[in-house]
Amino acid sequence: MEATEIRKLAALEDSHWWYRERRVLLGRALRRLAATGTRPERALDIGAAGGGNTRVLRDHGWRPVALEYSAEGAEVARERGLAVVRADARHLPLPSASLGLVVAFDILEHVDEDHLAAAEIRRTLRPGGTALIAVPADMALWSAHDEAVGHVRRYDRESLRAVTAKAGLVVDELWSWNVLLRPVAAWRRRTSTGSDLGGVPTVVNLGLRAVVAAERYLPVRGLSGVSLMLRAHRPT
């Protein structure tokens, strides 16, 4: 992702409906882990950009490191007081079996050899450790936005499950997100000429956030959405 896009993301992520709801979902996943007896330990946020998800990890007691490929993204995360490592997701500079949790939200779609990045997630997780992965869904939604933000592909359930399994991770749960707004996204992408990252009027932002938040309570996770989310673990 270009430096201008990373700065734009960092400026938006505290208020934008999409990023706020994603942080809510991450927080819910962390609470579910805690409910199973998983104690916070060392964690990695791959592709941290401005560090919004890294801060969620920290707030839930984990000891996170923000990993960012670009100099601009790493600088933004440092400005926010986060521990940062610059590296390629295909070559994580961390010991094997050293992490209890890896978060990789919107990373695999940027990597030509996505199986190598997934394998590195598996390598750095301790046995029983958890991976939380999110990717954009469905090549039918491919648009100028994907090209502007450096996507290589969008995924369906089978391709995401396959790359995760090839890496040696066991898939625990795989579901769609941003289902209710998929028709709006499809229309938007047909008219898109570049990145869709941008400010949203306050009233519209609140309305979109209310719609996507409703998915927490509705049985829509098996339908087609704009994103796919996955929880997996390294087998013991």
pLDDT tens sequence across 131-150: 999 999 999 999 998 998 89
81: left (phi over 0), alpha (psi -120 to 50) or beta: left
**Position 3 confidence tier, pLDDT thresholds 50, 70, 90:** low
Whether residue 216 contacts residue 208, with contact meaning beta carbons closer than 8 Å, is answered with no
The reported pTM is 0.94
Query: Which of 33-37, 84-88, 101-105, 145-149 is least confident?
Result: 145-149
Whether residue 145 contacts residue 192, with contact meaning beta carbons closer than 8 Å, is answered with yes
At 2 the pLDDT is 56
Q: Is 39 exposed, middle or buried (0-12, 13-18, 19+ CB in 10 A)?
A: exposed
Enumerate domains of the chain plus CATH numbers: 3-233 (3.40.50.150)
As a whole number of angstroms, the distance between CA 93 and CA 87 comes to: 7
At 1 the pLDDT is 55
- Top pLDDT among 8 and 116 is at 116
